[in-house]
Amino acid sequence: MSALAPSDLFAGKTAVVTGASAGIGEGFARYAAGLGMKLVLADIAADRLESVAAQLRANGAEVEAVVTDVSDPQSVEAMASQAVGRFGQVDMVINNAGIMAMGFSWEVPAERWDSVLRVNIGGYVNVMRAFIPRMLQQKTQGWFLQVSSIGGMFPSPLMAPYSVTKFGTLALTESLYYELQMQEAPIQVSVVLPDSVKSDIFSSAKEGATLPAAQAFNDALQQRADEMGITAEEHARRVFEQVAEGRYWVTPQPEAIDQGVVPRAEMIRARVNPQLSFEV
C-alpha cells in the first residue's frame, strides 16, 4: 500500500465528481480542492452546481462545472469529453450521483423505481463506460471510486430501491476491479461504504414517502444522520486517506459494518430467516 499522504499523492491531479452539488459529493469536491486537485464537477442541479463551483474557484481551485444527467449516456459522454478537453486527462473518478425512494416496495411508483435504477445503477455504468476507456488509453496511474453504502451490505425495509442499487454497486465495482486486474491496468478501484453523513438526502426523499410508516422511518434516518453522522468533508477526508493507502474496501465509518457483517454472514451460513431488528 502507498505510504504517501493524500496531499502528496493527489495534488495537481484531475478528479471528476458526480452528484457534486450537495451532500457527500460536495464534500468530496471541497476536500479534493483543498488537496490542490483540479476538478470536474457534474450534477443535474445546475444552480446548486454552479454555486459550489463558484465558491471553490473563489478559493483558487481550477473547476469545470458540467450540468450532467448521469442516466443519459450522451450527457455523460459529453461531460467526459469536456473534462479531457479542459484538463488533458482525468486521474480520478468518483461515481457518486444517486437518488432515493421511500415506501413499501410494491407501492413505490413504477416511474420512481425506474428513476432510481437509471440513476443509481445506469448512471454508474454510463460513467464507467465513458471514463474507463479514456483512463486505459492514458496508461497512467488512476483511481476509480464507486460510492455504495452500508445499505449495500444490509438491506432495509421501506427503501428497497436504494438497497437494490447499493447492493448492485458492490457487484458492479468488484467486477470492474477484476476486469482491470485482467487488463493489468494501473487504475485502483475502490468501493466506498458510508454510514450516516450529515446531509439532506432523507429530507429530499421524504416527498415520495407518502405512507405514515415510510415517513416515520425517513424521519428516524434523518435524525440519526443529524445527530450521529459525520460531516461530508470529514467523510471525504477519511475516504481519501484510505484510497491513498491503496484500499479496495473504503470504510469511513467501519463500526456499523464491523458490528453487522459477521452476524449477517452467520445468518446466511446457518440459513436463518432474516429478522426485523427495529420497529417500523
**Per mean pLDDT, which range of 62-66, 181-185, 192-196, 197-201 is the poorest?**
197-201
118 C-beta neighbours (distance < 10 Å), count: 18
pTM of the model: 0.91
* Average of per-residue pLDDT values in the chain: 91
Measured CA to CA, the distance from residue 4 to residue 9 in angstroms comes to 6
Check if the beta carbon of residue 188 is closer than 8 Å to that of residue 228. Answer: no
Hey, what domains does the chain have and what are their CATH numbers?
6-269 (3.40.50.720)
- Residue 162: active-site member: yes
Catalytic residue among 162, 177, 178, 248: 162
pLDDT band at 202 (very low <50, low <70, confident <90, very high): low
* Sheet containing 249-250: order of strands: 63-67, 38-43, 14-18, 92-95, 142-147, 187-192, 249-250
pLDDT in tens, 240-270: 999 999 999 999 999 989 999 999 999 999 9
pLDDT band at 124 (very low <50, low <70, confident <90, very high): very high
